[in-house]
Amino acid sequence: MPQEHRLILKHIDQPGYTPDIECYLRHGGYQVLRKVLSLQPKVLPDGRVLSPQEQLRDEVSRSGLRGRGGAGFSCGLKWSFVDRKSGKPIYLICNADESEPGTFKDRQILYKDPHQLLEGMIIACYANDVHLAYIYIRGEMAEGARILNRALAEARAHGFLGKNILGTGYDLEIYVHRGAGAYICGEETGLIESLEGKRPYPRIKPPYFPAAFGLYGCPTIVNNVETLAAIKHVIDMGGDQYAKLGTPNNTGTRIVCLSGQLRRPGYYEVELGKVTLGELIFHENFGQGLRPGRSLQAVIPGGTSAKVLRAGEKFRIKKMVPGGPLVEQEVDLLDLPYDFDSLIAAGSMSGSGGIIVLDDSADIVEALANIAEFYAHESCGQCTPCREGSLWMAKILYRLTHGQGRACDADELLRIANNIPGGRTICAFGEACAWPVQSFVAKFKEEFVARGRAAEARRASPAGGAGPSTQIKIAASPAL
Amino acid sequence: MIVRRDRLTIWERLYLTAIWGGLKVTFRHFWRTVVRRRPVTVQYPEEKPVVPPGYRGAPYLVRDQTGRIKCVSCQLCEFVCPPKAIRITPPGPEIDPTTGNVEKRPRQFEIDMLRCIFCGFCQEVCPEEAIFLMQDYSLTGLSRSEMIYDMDKLLRLGGVHLDPIRKWERKAREAQAQETVPPTLP
Amino acid sequence: MSSPTTAPAKPTQSAPTTPEFFQVKVDGRVVVVPRLSPDWRGQLVPTTMIQACFAAGVMVPHYCYHPKLPVAGNCRMCLVEFGTPVLGPDRKPLLNPDGTPKITRAPRPAIACATPVMPGMEIYTNTPTVRAMREGVLEFLLINHPLDCPICDQAGECKLQEYAVDHGLAASRFVETKVHKPKQVELGPRIMFDAERCILCSRCIRFTRDIVGDDALGILHRGSYSTIATWPGRAFDNNYTLNTVDLCPVGALTSKDFRFQMRVWFLKETKSICTSCGTGCNILIGSRENRIYRYTPRQNDAVNSCWMCDAGRLNYKWIGRPDRLKEVRGPGGQTRVWSAVLAELAHRLGQAPRGSVALIASARQTNEELFLLKKLATRLGAITDSIPREGQADPLLVSADKNPNSLGARLLGLCYTEMGINLPRIAHGIEQGAIRTLIVFGEDVTRHGLAPELLARLDTLVVSDILPNATTALAHYLLPGCAHAEKRGSFTNVKGRVQRFFKAVEPPGNARPEWEFLAELLSHLTGQPAAPSLEALFNQMAQEVPAFHGLTWTGLGDTGLEAKV
């Protein structure tokens, strides 16, 4: 029976649960922090001594926790890259710039249970010798910033933050920094640039890997809100226990955000790999299916940056056979387990956890035009392919959706989109703006071609005519 | 290679045969000119030969249908002209408000018609379709300096050339439509 | 033998895992590169792939990269593919059966300007993927680029044009409306900006912020609508703004002074030296048919890197002034012929008693001219001096010494270290009547203590100059000279670097290079033949003057040589 496994969202939305610290403490809050701060160095059988920080980092590595922000990169591995020998201070930044369309999970934690995030963050800071941390929250969440600042003040008042936390001699200060309305501030180096007060132009890697040269040139860890909230649970249960949740290499739980043309959109916390996409969309514990009389057309499984999956598509992925090893099978879209690896094997990604469902009433060309306009608007403009390509694709899609398309526009879109991702841009925004176009046009080619052909036919007919168009010199045949 | 020299026949060796062949041509021309009254010559200057389209006559500058001088002083024709017959004085840094978004117009444009070899390279290279080799083939003057045509003369002789593309006007119109910055689609 | 109180030497650190020099392959060509190379500031940082490619003679197209600017990596034009050797468990490269190292091709391309090389790396700059990437980047740059080539000043030296020909597609597939941005924006008092042409490489921003230290430029708006602008409240008017015109790969930033003056392919570019101050920035004089249109800097890492100041750059118009001195004048003011005047002058000077001659040579004359003037002064027993020119210096290039050859004047013995210290003596001498002959080269001495009434007392006033002034008006013998652009020669800059320059335009009228008629004058005086050419004259000077020992004219090359100061 597929159902939620509320770990992070355990208390959120329960009646009477408020964001203040008293409520959090009543529900056993900050006990994990106390435990963490009282850890002693451990002597191993071979004589090596593990400091409390090393033990904590070990737990996180053993838990197999993967980043919940979009990339799904192993958290323990990310922490291990930090340059601890440079002598420079190490910073930790909580990425609360939740801007991926279709994602609304971090705001639940920020607005309804900020202390869970803070506890996880303080533990993460302690584990990495961080004494100054920031929460970068998107500018649109003004109320969220207020809630966080209030929570920070409460934590300070109770001695969980500030100098000499709980008398252990560990200092940590956390500040909230508000963004100013740019999606690119969700990119870790773009976020760091914005935090430094500059325009959020992502940095080139190499050499500016945040683990070595991050905020102010110092080693920096950037983690998502949900990841940091999960840290608390990892340490609470122990890494090995946490790893038992979910499936191998896709451990733990994750909050998925179901949206689109469903009966019951919303956010649900599930164990990774234990529910399928079909269950998330149709099961009564989750999306409860489509509206009456509608059939599924497409699913975007990881926020609009992820490649779209068409209804009825089959994928060859390695699936766990009951009682046996991993076997490569052909799996239908709806039977895809919802976890990082399966979705990557299906040619998409789990991304930020936002699942957008499109039924057959959705106009695919309009949907892609909407997505492309977003990316054209949000491109920072630093590097050539994304800056020019994103607007070009948006303009072509605008033409297609306003009756001025051409039959060759579908191939044009693919050709342009193929020139943007794959290392040709500074940051992953190139992939983010190109993958939707690549996947929509490739999988729904007939829609785009038909739209273009219809427009051409209308123009060619005596009644149609060219119409007032400030846009283009409409060629009867493509330019080449 | 070995060239075969065929042995001439008796008729070919006879001198008179060749004379007869030549006389045939003469007689044919005689018949054509005198009897059929279609001489190959033309009574120039009362009769003028018909100049075919595409004829490479003297190069002149043109205006478009709104009266704008199409030349923007890019100096490509000056560079490509093989005998260096063209001499252009660029406009210089003073901003000329009458040029609008075209920004540039030559201050002086001279073609030395005595140097011009009517090759047509200037027309071929011109990116603005501003210079064309037209139908004039007879150019006369009483001094060398008279044969250096300046911009006024070139424009007068060049006349108007219909421009269907209207690139600069179109750019200006599009820029005006995008007045709000940053513009939203479209 | 070290004394027992010396501390024992520290044990050597373990050697770094990468050796100081190692081999990389660029398109199959092996090249040895150092592990570290100087960056834009001169600090040693890991060598990048683009530096390795240049060392191998392979040109990787680029826009935002510049060896003298911090790396930005945003144009994406220098994307190349590469492979790295596979290391075995013993950290040694694995080998193929044929002995060549096993290479794993990197799955993603990398920008050559920012990615460091490692030993055994193979860089591929001409694969079909790399070619397709370049075509892609160029296509993206051209879709919103205006069709301005006919009116754009950058035509002929535009990197967009060049790379489009070499690496781009032939036809456009863009049928949408281009993004329109402000054009003809006066970004500063000397810079005209066209936002549509801008490819947002950010070279201008980095230069102004990091090299000049004046954070004046930035980008407004975002995405395709990004536009370069001055930050609100800031002006783009520092003394180095015109270098951004050189840096700009396209015609977005153009010089207001040079705007629409001449197409660059007509300009003859002559190597020369700027004469506006003692730094002696290396320049190229762009001229056509004896008219100078612009100066642009030449790279000389020992003097001016790739830059020059705006004041020096715009200081060429005086060379074409219509009131230039063109004719030789003799006593009485009549126009004379060189040969006759030089002979007459030699005779007259030869008769002047020793101690009655003074010679004021300008520190704007070339080394060779000053050498000949010193010979003349020695021959005549003349008291000599120069005129100092002091002004404002700046931290980057501009020297406080506004004479281009002060050090030359000092080294060649025409003045003491304290220039101008002899002027009062000369004035006094004229007043007393002890000095009856004064030779002035290139200075208006009425502005430096020798009033016209004083000059009127002289028997012989010989003046050589280029523009008329109060001194030339009083001259008995007026010998018109040449600007530096009209002759060849060398200057010694404030740091002691001897740099040569060449002739770009013809002198007006009958003006002659000073070294030429001075050599002739001296040969009349001494009876010895003049040096047959400038090269011979320079080499002679190098032999006779201790500071220039070992220098030769050809040895000066494009970047000059240091004198023994």
For C326-351, what is each residue's pLDDT tens digit? 999 999 889 999 999 999 999 999 99
Q: How far apart (Å, rounded) are the C-alpha atoms in residues B46 and B169?
A: 44
Domain ranges of chain C: 21-126, 177-320, 328-562
CB B181 to CB C183 under 8 A?
A: no
CB A261 within 8 A of CB A36: no
pLDDT at residue C94, as a whole number: 86
Q: From the candidates C180, C226, C265, C288, which should be mutated to test the interface with B, based on the most B CB atoms within 10 A?
A: C180
Mean pLDDT for C485-506 is 96
Q: Is C413 exposed, middle or buried (0-12, 13-18, 19+ CB in 10 A)?
A: middle
Instruction: Centre a 10 Å sphere on the Cβ of residue C548 and count the other Cβ atoms it contains.
Output: 24
B2: Cβ contacts below 8 Å, ≥ 6 apart: none
B&C contacts, CB < 8 Å? 67
Among B74, B79, B181, the residue with its CB nearest the CB of C150 is B74
Residues in chain B with CB shorter than 8 Å from the CB of C149 are: 74, 127
Closest listed residue to residue C508, CA positions, set C487, C539, C477, C529: C487
Mean pLDDT for B16-44 is 91
Q: How far apart (Å, rounded) are the C-alpha atoms in residues A186 and A99?
A: 7
pLDDT at residue C251, as a whole number: 96
To the nearest whole angstrom, how far is the Cα of C556 from the nearest Cα of chain B?
35
To the nearest whole angstrom, how far is the Cα of C264 from the nearest Cα of chain A?
28
Mean pLDDT for C31-54 is 95
CB C177 within 8 A of CB A471: yes
To the nearest whole angstrom, how far is the Cα of C176 from the nearest Cα of chain A?
5
Peptide bond into C11 cis (omega under 30): no
Tens-place pLDDT, residues C144-177: 999 999 999 999 999 999 999 999 998 899 999 9
CB A368 within 8 A of CB A440: yes
Residue B89 amino acid letter: T
Backbone angles phi, psi at A360, to 5 degrees: -70, -5
CATH architecture of B59-165: 2-Layer Sandwich (3.30)
CB C151 to CB B76 under 8 A?
A: no
**With 60 as the cut, is the pLDDT of residue C372 above it?**
yes
What is the share, in percent, of chain A residues with pLDDT greater than 70?
96
Strand partners, A178: A137
Mean pLDDT for B45-63 is 93
CB C144 within 8 A of CB C200: no
Closest listed residue to residue C144, CA positions, set B125, A381, A436: A381
pLDDT at residue C511, as a whole number: 96
Alpha helices in chain B (DSSP H): 10-13, 15-30, 76-80, 121-125, 151-158, 167-177
Q: How far apart (Å, rounded) are the C-alpha atoms in residues C493 and C490?
A: 10
Instruction: Centre a 10 Å sphere on the Cβ of residue B68 and count the other Cβ atoms it contains.
Output: 18
Q: Can you say how many angstroms the Cα of residue A369 is from the centroid of all Cα atoms in its chain?
A: 22
Confidence of residue C121 (pLDDT cuts 50, 70, 90): very high
Confidence of residue C17 (pLDDT cuts 50, 70, 90): low
Residues in chain A with CB shorter than 8 Å from the CB of B186 are: 395, 398, 402, 470-471
Backbone angles phi, psi at C510, to 5 degrees: -105, 20
Q: Tell me the CA distances in angstroms from A425 to A187, A375, A397, one per residue in order.
A: 13, 14, 22
CB A281 within 8 A of CB A299: yes
To the nearest whole angstrom, how far is the Cα of C228 from the nearest Cα of chain A?
12
Residues in chain C with CB shorter than 8 Å from the CB of B100 are: none
Residues in chain C with CB shorter than 8 Å from the CB of B171 are: 146-147, 180
CB B186 to CB A471 under 8 A?
A: yes
What is the share, in percent, of chain B residues with pLDDT greater than 90?
72
Residues in chain B with CB shorter than 8 Å from the CB of C222 are: 182
Tens-place pLDDT, residues C74-103: 999 999 999 999 988 888 888 888 888 889
Confidence of residue C9 (pLDDT cuts 50, 70, 90): very low
Instruction: Report long-range pairs for B165-171 (Cβ below 8 Å, ≥24 apart).
Output: B166/B64, B167/C147, B168/B68, B168/B100, B168/B101, B168/B102, B169/B66, B171/B101, B171/C146, B171/C147, B171/C180
Closest listed residue to residue C51, CA positions, set C74, C34, C63, C76: C34
Residues in chain B with CB shorter than 8 Å from the CB of A376 are: 185
Among C147, C179, C263, the residue with its CB nearest the CB of B75 is C263
A125: Cβ contacts below 8 Å, ≥ 6 apart: A92, A131, A133, A172, A174
Q: How far apart (Å, rounded) are the C-alpha atoms in residues B76 and B61?
A: 14
A180: Cβ contacts below 8 Å, ≥ 6 apart: A139, A194
Domain C177-320 in this protein, CATH class:
alpha beta
Beta strand extents in C298-428 (DSSP E only): 328-329, 335-336, 357-361, 383-385
* Chain B touching partners, 3 or more CB pairs below 8 A: A, C
Residues in chain C with CB shorter than 8 Å from the CB of B183 are: 179, 225
Q: Inform me whether the C-beta atom of residue B20 falls under 8 Å from chain C C-beta atoms.
A: no
CB A472 within 8 A of CB A459: no
| Token pair in block for residue C210 | 């990091």
Residues in chain C with CB shorter than 8 Å from the CB of B173 are: none
Closest listed residue to residue C332, CA positions, set C324, C341, C321: C341
Strand partners, B156: none
To the nearest whole angstrom, how far is the Cα of C211 from the nearest Cα of chain B?
28
To the nearest whole angstrom, how far is the Cα of C148 from the nearest Cα of chain A?
19
pLDDT at residue B183, as a whole number: 43
Residue of A nearest to B184 (CA): A377
Closest listed residue to residue B130, CA positions, set B89, B66, B72: B72
What is the share, in percent, of chain C residues with pLDDT greater than 90?
90
* pTM, full prediction: 0.91
Q: Can you say how many angstroms the Cα of residue C439 is from the centroid of all Cα atoms in its chain?
A: 32
To the nearest whole angstrom, how far is the Cα of C151 from the nearest Cα of chain B?
6
Among B75, B93, B171, the residue with its CB nearest the CB of C257 is B93
Among C108, C199, C226, the residue with its CB nearest the CB of A423 is C108
Among C181, C221, C260, the residue with its CB nearest the CB of B104 is C260
Q: Tell me the CA distances in angstroms from C252 to A119, B105, C487, one per residue in order.
A: 52, 19, 35
CB A391 to CB C224 under 8 A?
A: yes
Residue of B nearest to C224 (CA): B182
Q: How far apart (Å, rounded) are the C-alpha atoms in residues A86 and A83?
A: 6
Specify the residue for token string 């020798």: C450
Q: Inform me whether the C-beta atom of residue B95 falls under 8 Å from chain C C-beta atoms.
A: yes
Strand partners, A256: A268
Among C76, C175, C225, the residue with its CB nearest the CB of A384 is C76
Mean pLDDT for C376-397 is 94
CB C464 within 8 A of CB C487: no
SS3 content of chain A, % helix, strand, coil (to 5): 40, 20, 40
CATH architecture of C21-126: Roll (3.10)
Among B174, B177, B185, the residue with its CB nearest the CB of A395 is B185
C127: Cβ contacts below 8 Å, ≥ 6 apart: C81
C111: Cβ contacts below 8 Å, ≥ 6 apart: A204, C73, C76, C78, C79, C80
In the DSSP assignment, the letter for residue C10 is P
CB C150 to CB B167 under 8 A?
A: no
CB C265 to CB B128 under 8 A?
A: no
Alpha-carbon torsion, ordered A281, A282, A288, A293, to 10 deg: 110
Q: How far apart (Å, rounded) are the C-alpha atoms in residues C269 and C273?
A: 12
Instruction: Centre a 10 Å sphere on the Cβ of residue C265 and count the other Cβ atoms it contains.
Output: 13
Specify the residue for token string 């297609």: A400
CB B151 within 8 A of CB B72: no
Helices A114-127 and A142-157, packing angle to 10 deg: 60
CB B185 to CB A470 under 8 A?
A: no
Alpha-carbon torsion, ordered C114, C115, C119, C123, to 10 deg: -100
Q: How far apart (Å, rounded) are the C-alpha atoms in residues C70 and A25?
A: 51
Beta strand extents in C424-504 (DSSP E only): 437-441, 460-465, 477-480, 489-492, 497-501
Instruction: Centre a 10 Å sphere on the Cβ of residue C529 and count the other Cβ atoms it contains.
Output: 9
pLDDT at residue B41, as a whole number: 87
**pLDDT averaged over chain C?**
93
Q: Inform me whether the C-beta atom of residue B177 falls under 8 Å from chain A C-beta atoms.
A: yes
Residue A445 amino acid letter: K
Q: How far apart (Å, rounded) are the C-alpha atoms in residues C312 and A41?
A: 68
* Chain A touching partners, 3 or more CB pairs below 8 A: B, C
CB B75 to CB C223 under 8 A?
A: no
pLDDT at residue B9, as a whole number: 85
A&C contacts, CB < 8 Å? 115
Residue segments in chain A with a per-residue pLDDT below the cut of 70: 320-321, 463-480
| Token pair in block for residue C396 | 């980057």
Q: From the candidates C144, C148, C149, C151, which should be mutated to test the interface with B, based on the most B CB atoms within 10 A?
A: C151
pLDDT at residue A465, as a whole number: 53
Backbone angles phi, psi at A303, to 5 degrees: 80, 160
Specify the residue for token string 């999988």: A443
The DSSP secondary structure of A427-466, one letter per residue, reads STHHHHHHHHHHHHHHHTHHHHHHHHHHHHHHHHSTTT--
CATH topology of domain C328-562: Rossmann fold (3.40.50)
Peptide bond into A206 cis (omega under 30): yes
To the nearest whole angstrom, how far is the Cα of C209 from the nearest Cα of chain B?
26
